[in-house]
Amino acid sequence: MDTQRLILVVIFFFSVFMLFEAWQRESRPPPPTSSPAPGKEKPSEKASGEVPAGPSKKLDATVPGALSPSAEGLKPASGEIVNVYTDVLSVSIDTVGGSITRLELPRHRATVDTSKNFVLFERAAERTYVAQSGLIGEGLPNHNSRFVAAAREYKLADGQNRLEVRLDSSAEGGASVGKVFIFERSSYSIRIRHEVRTAAAETPAQIYGYYQLLRDGNPPEGDSKMLPTYTGVAVYTEQDKFQKVAFGDIDKGKAPYTKTTQDGWIGLVQHYFVSAWIAPRSTPREYYTKHLDNNLYTAGVILPFANAPQDGASLTQEITLYAGPQDQDRLAAIAPGLDLTVDYGWLTIIATPLFWVLKTLYGWVGNWGVAIIILTILIKLIFYPLSAASYRSMAKMRVLAPKMQRLKELHGDDRQRMQQAMMDLYKTEKINPLGGCLPILVQIPVFIALYWVLLASFELRQAPFVLWINDLAAPDPYYILPVLMGATMIIQTRLNPEPPDPVQAKIMKIMPIAFSIFFFFFPAGLVLYWLVNNILSIAQQWQITRSLERAAPVHGRR
């Protein structure tokens, strides 16, 4: 096997590895939206979802079989909207259920139309993604019940660090329930507190709060089918660590997922953004997922109130909803394991330090594109000895090209004699045709880890580089970088000896064009990395080849 064939084998395994990574992240695309027949649309499901059943007996052995209100006809949302504005959030709360039906991030641009703000939560005809909460107990309000708000608009004023929005509802039996939303400056976390004041013996023996995210199974706006990003449920517990519950798994019967524990969080993940319910530590809870009709899914948590209700008693329960970008430093400070939603796969052990170096470089130079270039140079320097061994092997093969051609003319179509003559020549010249194998294989995990760092890190989203590159996480709008990368691949191909096999020779000529087209759809940051890496490889390979070609006549006289 000559070096050119080795390169083809390495590229083949690299491609298979990338496909496996994509399959591992999301085994199948989200299920298609089922379109109801005309006149039979179910607006109530789009608006409300279902009230979860009571928790399992694992959560509390004294819980009777069914605590939730019956899930008879789901009520359409028709309440008034309360708008809340902070420095980082723009939130709409429906007075029916106190659900968050829209959550906009003013500091982040939309994926497709960058003149607009990014919208994470939204309730519209074509899209559903909302945060719901309520109480489980006879006569207590759930996310279909009506609340009353004192105002229709709240705004975090200059110099104000905290903003509270209160909704009130009356329960059967004279109990009153307040739902308080607490916002803080520069925070994507919203604390939600239920306050229950009981007034009669008819109140349930135990009250539970439930908190869920309702979302359709469609990919986010602008999601690229070429890049294997994950959209679905994520759960973290200290015992089981980070787990995914894909929409497809819920459909296949591997879920509904339920888990009784005293720590962790549950949420929904999409490229660059996450929403998650985070309950206080050491609090009993039950996580659950469910597939509803019309391509809707819920993921939530059920929490028991700490005390049983008594006449005239006031009970409270508080939970945190994070809804914002996958900023790793911010997520790590909010809850253990929340930063794992930035998923680098099983190469996290390599990808994490790579991202740390990249972020450190950005802190020095202030430009993510320049940081990528410097990181590429550093990686190339680290692997310089290994790369040199690989290129030296290829350069020696190039020096032997005239002799290889003579063998081809001598033996013609006798492939067996041709192969034997080639092996004898390698032995005489003391060349190992597989000498470039190990250096390339050793570097592949690093390249793949860096690929996931550049693909998954929110910090690179809409990060400008220079000139026409306004977003390193989006494809080059004019395809200049992919074309330049293809040109560097052509130069590399010409620096290598031409394969004696005509089929391999044609493949090596077509490959730069194919790769350029393939990279048209890749983020500009990834293409920039490959382009810089190719330029450095060309310089190194050219230097090694030139030195060996100069030494070749001397070697030949020996």
- The DSSP code sequence of 525-539 is HHHHHHHHHHHHHHH
Final residue belonging to a domain, choices 280, 313, 343: 343
Q: Are residues 48 and 18 in the same domain?
A: no
CB 205 within 8 A of CB 305: no
| Terminal Cα-to-Cα distance of the chain (whole angstroms) | 27
- Asked, for residue 124, whether it belongs to a domain, the answer is yes
Q: Provide the 10 A C-beta neighbour count for residue 409.
A: 7
Rounded CA gap, 77 and 75, in Å? 6
CB 280 within 8 A of CB 304: no
- What does the pLDDT look like over 30-62, one tens digit per residue? 333 333 333 333 334 444 567 776 676 555 433
- Asked, for residue 468, whether it belongs to a domain, the answer is yes
CB 541 within 8 A of CB 512: no
Q: What integer pLDDT is reported at residue 504 of this predicted model?
A: 63
User: CA torsion, points 376, 378, 379, 382, in degrees to nearest 10?
Assistant: 160
Q: Are residues 434 and 501 in the same domain?
A: yes
Q: Are residues 235 and 362 in the same domain?
A: no
Rounded CA gap, 282 and 358, in Å? 36
- Asked, for residue 74, whether it belongs to a domain, the answer is no
Q: Are residues 95 and 156 in the same domain?
A: yes
Q: Are residues 48 and 9 in the same domain?
A: no
- What does the pLDDT look like over 217-248, one tens digit per residue? 998 987 766 677 889 999 999 999 999 998 88
Q: Are residues 150 and 256 in the same domain?
A: yes
Domain carrying residue 194: 31-69+79-343
DSSP string, 412-467: TT-HHHHHHHHHHHHHHHT--TTTTHHHHHHHHHHHHHHHHHHHH-GGGTT---ST
Q: Where residue 199 sits, what CATH number does that domain have? A: 2.70.98.90
Q: What integer pLDDT is reported at residue 369 of this predicted model?
A: 94
- Asked, for residue 359, whether it belongs to a domain, the answer is yes
Q: Are residues 286 and 358 in the same domain?
A: no
Number of domains in the chain: 2
Q: Are residues 214 and 361 in the same domain?
A: no
Rounded CA gap, 473 and 485, in Å? 17
Helix (H, G, I), strand (E, B) or coil at 378: helix
- What does the pLDDT look like over 434-488, one tens digit per residue? 555 555 666 778 878 888 888 888 998 889 988 899 888 888 888 899 889 888 8
Final residue belonging to a domain, choices 343, 368, 385: 343
Residue 539 dihedral angles phi and psi, to the nearest 5°: -60, -45
Of residues 433 and 247, the one with the higher pLDDT is: 247
Rounded CA gap, 227 and 224, in Å? 6
Share of the chain above pLDDT 70, in %: 68
- Asked, for residue 219, whether it belongs to a domain, the answer is yes
Q: Are residues 180 and 101 in the same domain?
A: yes
Q: Cis ω on the peptide bond leading into residue 475 (within 30° of 0)? A: no
Q: Is the pLDDT of residue 385 over 80?
A: no
For the whole model, what pTM was predicted?
Answer: 0.79
Kindly indicate the confidence band of residue 275, based on its pLDDT and cuts at 50, 70 and 90.
very high
Rounded CA gap, 328 and 547, in Å? 47
Final residue belonging to a domain, choices 297, 314, 343: 343
For 494-516, b where at least 16 C-beta lie within 10 A, e where not — what string?
ebbbbbbeeebeebbeebbeeeb
Q: Are residues 499 and 550 in the same domain?
A: yes
Q: Are residues 155 and 299 in the same domain?
A: yes
Q: Which residues contact 435 (CB under 8 A, 6 or more apart)?
A: 3, 389, 390, 392, 393
- Asked, for residue 453, whether it belongs to a domain, the answer is yes
Q: What integer pLDDT is reported at residue 277 of this predicted model?
A: 98
Q: Are residues 147 and 288 in the same domain?
A: yes
Q: Which residues contact 363 (CB under 8 A, 6 or more apart)?
A: none
